[in-house]
Amino acid sequence: MRPEILSPLFRQTTTLKGVGPRIGKLIEKVAGPRLVDLCWHLPAGIVDRRFRPSVAEAPDGAMVTLTVRVDRHQPPPSRRVPYRVECSDDSGTLTLVFFHAQADYLNDLLPVGATRVVSGRMAYFNDRPQMPHPDHVIPVEAFDSLPLVEPVYRLTEGLTPKPLARAVAAALAELPELPEWQDPAWRQRQGWADWRDSLRRAHAPDAEAGLDPADPARRRLAYDELLANQLALALVRAQMRRRAGRRIDGDGRLRAKVTAALPYALTSAQNRTLAEISADMAGASRMLRLLQGDVGSGKTVVALLAMLIAVESGAQAALMAPTEILARQHLETLTPLCAAAGIEIVLLTGRLKGKARAQVLARIADGAAAIAVGTHALFQETVEFRDLAMVVIDEQHRFGVHQRLLLGAKGKAVDVLVMTATPIPRTLTLTAYGDMDVSKLDEKPPGRAPIDTRSMPLSRLGDVVAGLRRLLAGDARVYWVCPLVEESDALDLAAAEDRYAALGRDLGPAVGLVHGRMKAAEKDAVMDAFAAGEIRVLVATTVIEVGVDVPEATVMVVEHAERFGLAQLHQLRGRVGRGGRPGTCLLLYTEPLTETARARIRTMRETDDGFVIAEEDMRLRGAGEVLGTRQSGLPAFRLADIDAHRDLMPVAHDDCRLVLETDPDLRGPRGQALRVLLYLFERDAAVKYLRSG
């Protein structure tokens, strides 16, 4: 139950005076439906009215506050002409201009002979100073009521600044005094005010600096939000730790057979990671580990050896991939290694139907299949394992925390290993995967050839095609990736089809096409033809970004490289140079390049270290873009800017760890305050993981 002290903040905005259903709908569109949403809707700008020149000194376009005498009114001859009020001070004359004005109202507001303070933006017309529709007109004696610095909020069509500002002020007036949840020593070192004061200050900046994420009030609020996020993840993690795991200890016999069958020795990073995984699996708690490995760092082999620990103990393991192409790729890679170990591996995808599907389901159910590889079809209700002990989820930064918890439900105390080939900056690892332990594969296995990365303007397309023609005289295999077109599948496809047709005319029948809208069987047929060398140039949309493995491919052409993110370019580059032969990655761009695009292409040419690239990608694009927030399981923050506040995330992470070590059920004074914080930021789901509920 949400604490009673927070009830006022979770009222609907339509309960505020002056906010009817129409305004309420508009406020909901821009901020949200409740008072707490208005509190989180921080100003995006300010209007500074402190500049008080004389009329003659007021510059064109400036926001000014003037003291003037009202000299005369000029009512318009028709509604199409504005109403003018002539005013002056000792330096000159100013015309106030009103469109569609009521004469009675303006005579009351600006009586002839009176002195008034007017504030608004100056505009010169025929060299004469004017102020169209002043924002404020008040008597001199009411000057103290003029807001000299006003916050400016993001609006939506139909919503004007004044009703929104009034609603925000009304919401702030309802702020309760909440118990302090921050560590007192930390807060004192930062020099931060309490939560309520900080929120009020953030809504009343007195200069541009108050809008900056580095402003103390904004940093305090950002830390509160990050603390709520990290505490929620820590509670999920503690719940996982509390749930009895099962000790899974293999005897090493199957792993020894697979290691002997590998054409290379494991890297020290692979050995270190396997030691971490086997220690987790042998422990009393369930494993929940994230394996980050750069393109080609040997994650699949680590995943297999980890799954074999479960198989050696008499249980089963499953590997889940996000796409059918990737699931089949894993099956091809793992089948010879499983054969070397003498165990059965099966594939289960949504495409498998009828008798074939029934056979695979039976092999999984009776335990004959030690390892099952598949898409999310593995976790449908009809799939039953005899004894599932270990699950590997590949490339699933599309899963949030709760989906990860659900995946273990197919077996008893299932250990979970999540793999990603997208190196993630530490800040984002904590944000999206704070409930997990993390292993990194930061070395490449031997046999990975260097990749020569070059960039070239699209205006030299003819030279590129001529170069390909020379390469195809040998036995080269080429990927040609077509541009991302504003997130539109249809336009992406059109671009790919156009390039496929053009290259077909230039290079002949050895050109193939693969894209996301093809049926799975068609996709497989094209990929098989490319792997077999029947197709030598594969034109593709980014469907080939992850996991596709054709060792003979040595050239990657990325068209309109400026439209791709750094992480994506790095993934694409990782598709070549896999067979021991040197690879080439050619980034084609349209001129002129933006500064960001130039920096991206420069980074690609300078380094192939995925972790360096990930940090640079986050710096250039901001956190929300790096994983693609929509599909990343990343929480949407209202007050924290993951990029600007990245230094606060590890502090919040460590703080939560210490809190739960000393007060795991949040019963103490600070623990009770932290419960309020979880409800305030609507991380309520985490509260149920407390033993005391």
Q: Is residue 164 part of a domain?
A: no
As a whole number of angstroms, the distance between CA 603 and CA 364 comes to: 46
Domains of the chain: total? 4
Q: Taking 80 as the threshold, does the pLDDT of residue 589 lie above it?
A: yes
447 three-state secondary structure = coil
pLDDT of residue 37: 96
Q: Name the residue type at position 340.
A: A
**263-272, 541-550, 589-598: segment of lowest average pLDDT:** 541-550
Cα 683 to Cα 55, 211, 576, 592, 629, distances in angstroms: 54, 26, 43, 45, 18
pLDDT of residue 246: 87
Q: Is residue 640 part of a domain?
A: no
Specify whether the CB–CB gap between 358 and 332 falls below 8 A: no
Same domain, 377 and 264: yes
Same domain, 418 and 500: no
Same domain, 395 and 436: yes
Specify whether the CB–CB gap between 539 and 482 falls below 8 A: yes
pLDDT of residue 571: 82
Q: Taking 90 as the threshold, does the pLDDT of residue 305 lie above it?
A: yes
pLDDT of residue 191: 97
Residue 658 structural domain: 177-242+646-693
pLDDT of residue 490: 59
Q: Is residue 34 part of a domain?
A: no
Of 17-26, 468-477, 677-686, give the range with the top mean pLDDT. Answer: 17-26
Give me the torsion for CA of 533, 535, 540, 543, rounded to 10°. -50
pLDDT of residue 338: 97
pLDDT of residue 432: 65
Same domain, 462 and 434: no
The model's confidence at residue 141, banded by pLDDT at 50, 70 and 90, is very high
Specify whether the CB–CB gap between 513 and 473 falls below 8 A: no
Per residue in 5-46, pLDDT (tens digit) is 999 999 999 999 999 999 999 999 999 999 999 999 999 999
Same domain, 335 and 459: no
pLDDT of residue 428: 67
Same domain, 287 and 210: no
Q: Find the mean pLDDT for residues 547-560.
A: 84
Mean pLDDT rounded to a whole number for the chain: 88
As a whole number of angstroms, the distance between CA 685 and CA 693 comes to: 11
Same domain, 610 and 492: yes
The whole-angstrom distance between residue 156's C-alpha and the CA centroid of its chain comes to 24
Q: Is residue 27 part of a domain?
A: no
As a whole number of angstroms, the distance between CA 689 and CA 235 comes to: 6
The model's confidence at residue 297, banded by pLDDT at 50, 70 and 90, is confident
**Spatial CA neighbour of 296 closest among 424, 395, 444:** 444
Specify whether the CB–CB gap between 624 and 389 falls below 8 A: no
Q: Taking 60 as the threshold, does the pLDDT of residue 369 lie above it?
A: yes
Tokens 């600044």 found at: 161
User: Residue 410's domain is classified under what CATH number?
Assistant: 3.40.50.300
In this structure, the number of other CB atoms found within 10 A of the CB of residue 359 comes to 12
Same domain, 270 and 379: yes
Q: Find the mean pLDDT for residues 100-107.
A: 93
Per residue in 167-212, pLDDT (tens digit) is 999 999 999 999 999 999 999 999 999 999 999 999 999 999 999 9
Per residue in 655-677, pLDDT (tens digit) is 999 999 999 999 999 999 999 99
What is the H or E stretch that residue 24 is in? helix 21-30
Specify whether the CB–CB gap between 434 and 655 falls below 8 A: no
Q: What percent of the chain has pLDDT over 70?
A: 89
As a whole number of angstroms, the distance between CA 422 and CA 437 comes to: 17
